[in-house]
Amino acid sequence: MTLNTPRSRRPTIYDVAKSAGVSPSLVSLVLQNPSRVSDKRREAVLAAISQLGYRPSRAATALASSQTKSIGLVIDDFRNPWFVDLLRGMESALEVHGYQVTVADSRPGQNRIKEATDGLLAMHVAGLVIAAEPSEPMLAGTWVPTVVAGWRNGVPAGADLITNDDDGGGRLAAGHLLELGHTRIGHLSGSDGAAAHRREGFRGRMAAAGLEARIAGESGGTSEEDGYASACWLLDRYSDTTAIFAANDTMAVGAFAAAKARGRSVPDDLSVIGYDNSPLAKSRYLDITTVDNRSDVVGADSAQTLLARIQDPGQAPGRKLIEPTLVVRGTTSRITG
């Protein structure tokens, strides 16, 4: 082997390949999975690495092998705190295998989710976790192993689905308010898949109790502003409402503002329960009663499922539901009147 690398330049994977007399892809294989390379070639590559003082570059290795140790995560709104725990769960499962997460936000715009996905695919990510509403062009163009996190209105063919049992969570929220004596309960909903399942769970539990399900915002968004607008409409239309179940913690914060604007206090005049057990709900100041969708577990299971699909792309797609739990804090109370 000869050393032709100038000292003024950092040695590359291509320098190692030339020195060892092998291809750059084989050098990449030695760096990622040395057991798959013959002893003779592996020793030649390792000797070249040692003599050249080469330090592996993740980007160069990816270009040489057309693979990366990166997982793409597509989200639809970085303002939604649900993604904090989802990402934390994903990273906890991926880091032990040497993978990193690259996040792409698809908000706003109809075509942004396809653009975000295309951008990740152009980076040669090893797989995708979709935590956003997939569009038809995106469903047709996704060719890497894919897992959908959370209920969505569409799931790519061949993708796994890992989600909270949102129907059960909706029933859990309604049941908590019913146990506190509330019968005039409103629900702030939205148009996405998770909101639809939470709404149906709430509606079913209310029907089982023989009560009206007062629902607002089911064709809209789930931001704080959406929560405020829907709560204002609900409280104006049904002034006798004593409790509100919001489709997420962010909407619950909007409901607090709507209650204050109408001279009602939480929880004395109006009980409010959110969903997600996000950092907002855990805030000592807000102290929101909520349904914990265990998004960190959804994230970890999504990552583990994706790693399994990367190893065996031909396996049949599956669906896994994570059971939610109720977290009682300071925004719900027993009805007194």
> 283-302, pLDDT tens digit by residue?
999 999 999 999 999 999 99
Pick the range with the lowest mean pLDDT from 50-54, 92-96, 98-102, 238-242.
50-54
pLDDT at 57 (0 to 100): 56
Nearest Cα neighbor of 218 from 242, 234, 235 is 234
How far is Cα 189 from Cα 131, in angstroms, rounded to an integer?
Answer: 18
Q: Burial, 257: exposed, middle or buried (Cβ in 10 Å; 0-12, 13-18, 19+)? A: middle
Tokens of 283: 């805030």
How far is Cα 337 from Cα 316, in angstroms, rounded to an integer?
Answer: 54
Across residues 15-35, what is the average pLDDT?
A: 81
pLDDT band per the 50, 70, 90 thresholds, residue 327: very high
pLDDT at 189 (0 to 100): 98
Question: Hey, is 7 helix, strand or coil?
Answer: coil
Q: Where are the beta strands (DSSP E) in 208-292?
A: 214-216, 243-246, 271-275, 289-292
Across residues 311-328, what is the average pLDDT?
A: 91
